[in-house]
Amino acid sequence: MKPKTIAVVGAAETTRMGRIPDMSVIGLHADAALNALADCGLKPSDIDGVATAGASPVDLAHYLGITPTYADGTSVGGCSFMLHVRHAAAAINEGLCNTVLITHGESGRSRVGAGRFGGSASSLAGQFEMPYGPSGPPTMFTIPVLRYMKTYGVTEEDLAMVAVVQREWAAKNPHAVYRAPLTMEEYLAAPLVADPLSRYDCVPVVAGAQAIIVARPDRAPKGRPGVRVRAHRASYNYDNQEGDGLQTGISTFAAALWQEAGVRPDDIDVASIYDDYPTMVLAQANDLGLIPGNDLARFCRVTIGEKRFPVNTWGGMLSAGQPGGHAGGLNGISEAVLQLQHRAGERQVKDARLAVTTGYGMTMYRYGGTAAAAILERVE
């Protein structure tokens, strides 16, 4: 995308997060959308582009009474919302629309056991994966974890730091579903889900939604710092599923991302890294160049463990919850926006000016087939 041409002008969540039995999925999308519009002083009639995954963007437009000239229904797993930002930037720069609403909402019912996971019996997954008993993302996305631990010398205690420290952040987020402290002992004693992964390695599926509004920087409300997209890159099917699952597509574009942004990894103040499982945080952080010398164990114990570098400051999906179904990822962007606008309350990272956000998704044939990352900056 053209650097610095696009801003995230508004960001919000549903009024409630967690268990919301009295709202439908479309209602959750709309609630977050109305909150995001209020956040930046816009009305539904100001929106001329709509993007969402899972739900139809046209259904959402109808529900909100919007008549857009641009719609994006890209749905490729946990990376979709990063891609909606990317596509919105291109659409705005091409003149297709001016102000794009991006929402993500789910009623949070687990897909496990729904009988739909893995597709039909004649699909590739149906023929070459499902007969062996995977029962959802925790038993598919996670197969490389043991290999990862062996290759990089990472222990369960190292991985625990990702979950334990994100819980400390979550304690400062009133919207997080899990806020009580999580000790190393509790983490290690938790019931196994897909050995070596236990309960606290897996994202809790919740009800809720997030919404952001993407437009030219001058659309941002006056009198408050703006958040500009400094660079954005994406990759699909980067190794044709023939690698080891220890790298992500971010490895293919990290150098170009930093160059486009004109900043370096150690300039970053706060990171939102897609965290469906702790090892995925490490894989993406390593691909971004945030881990000197590939020393993943030290990154866990010292960089994250001692909070020298703030990662997933809203608690991440591991503590704040993932509105399930079509994965998450929008919560990482909205947290970065709050941090850069210095509106993150108790969990505010002091003087945050630059953020990196990522998405990583699609259990296609063992591990993530899509990846994207963006550098966001505070503009006074």
Partner 1 sequence: MPPRMLPEPTPETRHFWDGCKAGELRLQRCTECDGGSYFPPRPFCPYCGSRKVEVYPASGKGVLWSYVINHRPRPDMGTEPYAIAVVKLAEGPKMMTNIVGCPQTPQALPLDMAVTVTFAKQNDDISLPFFEPAKG
* Residues near partner 1 (CB under 8 A): 112-113, 118, 120-122, 124, 126-135, 138-140, 142-148, 150, 191-197, 240, 242, 244-245, 365-366
Amino acid present at 58: V
CB of residue 134 to partner 1, shortest distance in Å: 5
Calpha distance 379→86 (Å, rounded): 19
Calpha distance 177→205 (Å, rounded): 10
- Measured from the CB atom, the residue of 13 and 129 that comes closer to partner 1 is 129
CB of residue 145 to partner 1, shortest distance in Å: 7
- Specify burial of residue 3 (Cβ count, 10 A radius: 0-12, 13-18, 19+): middle
Q: Is the dihedral of CA 175, 181, 183, 189 positive or negative?
A: negative
- Measured from the CB atom, the residue of 12 and 197 that comes closer to partner 1 is 197
- Measured from the CB atom, the residue of 126 and 181 that comes closer to partner 1 is 126
- Measured from the CB atom, the residue of 342 and 366 that comes closer to partner 1 is 366
CB of residue 228 to partner 1, shortest distance in Å: 40
- Measured from the CB atom, the residue of 118 and 369 that comes closer to partner 1 is 118
CB of residue 137 to partner 1, shortest distance in Å: 11
- Measured from the CB atom, the residue of 142 and 331 that comes closer to partner 1 is 142
Q: Which of 349, 48, 30, 361 is nearest to 214 (CA)?
A: 48
Give the SS3 label for residue 360: strand
Q: Which of 179, 240, 214, 233 is nearest to 96 (CA)?
A: 214
Please list, residue by residue across 215-230, b when 16 or more beta carbons sit within 10 angstroms of its beta carbon and e when fewer do.
bbbebbeeeeebbbbb
CB of residue 122 to partner 1, shortest distance in Å: 4
CB of residue 166 to partner 1, shortest distance in Å: 22
